[in-house]
Structure 1
């Protein structure tokens, strides 16, 4: 089975590219589903058909779905919402405005992504194409399993025991306030465990890859670079860049001449920035891209002669090797300046911060108990050399300290 996740800055046309990819896969005989997890769905508009919260057949071997975030929230968060509703009533905050507080920001999109796991384990499809939310939301969603998994494993057991001990006392002291019971706490833990299972699918480089859709524009390229850095930091495999809506040779004349020069300039910049990733081009069409025939056209234009089902590129974003009797770890962090990097080593964990992005890495077994002896950043790679095993201690700071 294959999972292809499309992301990109809002408005670049990632929905059209995702749908076109799905149409092409189905045309080549693969049972394919294209699903939108974006809160502002546009997949139905792209396919020119009505979609809902369950898969709808769009063509032979092709299904489509706009995930119903409300239904998914009730499914995965119902017990927690019930407790929060009771808490709001106890606090006399049970008005309509407080309903928006029952789901934390970003969680609805995350619940939508859980549909990916359901389809992956069902065995009903050969390929799953995901039209994700714009870049920022996508990156937050894809990093949640790591963050929440760490919280459940490290902090949650203590909180759960504390709540259990405090529940009888709190009800008396607080005038009837019910602390979360085992059903609520179990619901939270179960959800996070499901997220961890989802992560095993999306982190498997033989199954899942991310493709970034860009337009030949300065702001779009800048955001794509930031996205690529984040995806590398979290270990996701980006296997292609798709340039959408470049001006074709047919767009000639004095009015388009300057735009042609701008597009040529930025296409060269995209190739320089993301090489050796495969880069595909989709021209600006003479009419809007709506319906299966137009989606088939742009799929042919982008991927002619390419096995779109294949993993098109794979780089190890993190490697560990032995060199001169010492262990060395390399992390690929493109488009980052040395001054933006910070490290924090404590016990089994290594926290790497690259600008606004931060990830906790669990150290592989050979590195456990070994302190960082030196750190170097060159050519988009963070190179860490580890010393001999000793009692674990915390070390943190910027590179070069």
Structure 2
């Protein structure tokens, strides 16, 4: 008889602040996202706590009164985890842990945990471990458990070396080892990318959970993992796609997110080389998300950081089947009509019209709506790039052998 699995989710509370830089509405958006992150990691949010402050408390993130309120709720409801919306310093984490006496995580730690769950390949696991070690290093003091100890032995520790110094040395050595491992894999991947030189490269970029993998599956007829959770896809996937006898390489990349941890940006820079070396970017946007404009801004910021903002970009507004405008009461003289009340037709007349008629596509990858328009636009752009790069090609010489072009599956 099979043993029944425990499917109960870990109970958690979320804590955020409202400041001058982060107003009430923005704080709610971040906590909504933090709740989705918690769900993705396998947790269930019991309650949210927010406090208005000039700036987060340098000792405990929130004030003593609010902290006592959180502690009492945790104690009364048997909560096991407290998750904070911003990255905590090592001293904040220690102080909060002493007060709440439960597991304390911040947004960075939570995202790292999800990445650790999602990493499938050796390369992705190495990148995640590097990010975790870089996050761990300044937080060793005061942790509940220590790393493996070097037990005695002449010359093993050095004179006067304390346990915390030993831990730091172990982590630093591990970081150095992981960086060397990533450099080796980077060289191999660089060779692989070089072997694809004859083919135009197209990369899917966008915020996490906007439907990039679903679009990849639909266009390339492949089986890339897709799920309605944040960071469902972590490993970069490259597939050969053929539209009207014109082959090109389509890459599905890791999704971006607001407040992306610095450690992850640093350790995943090599993964983003696929974006840097792409000839064309398809910026996929979940238009059904109420904050999709903020998502676009976040993605553009990362593209700027990796010197890819000036590449040819087609904006692909996905999930049009799920888009619903919020009803607006015309009789309410105080209420202001904003973007959340716009229909798709009205959105197209806003800043989207400046993107260009053909560079702003509206599709549903899941229900395959408007995919023919999408394929035609991508084909036209890829063809133009290909003709520019290889003037003596299939369009001038129909007998050109496309089937033997190099490719990386």
If the length of structure 1 is used for normalisation, what is the TM-score?
A: 0.31
If the length of structure 2 is used for normalisation, what is the TM-score?
A: 0.30
Which structure has more strand as a fraction of its residues?
A: 1
User: Higher RCO, 1 or 2 (CA under 8 Å, sep at least 6)?
Assistant: 1
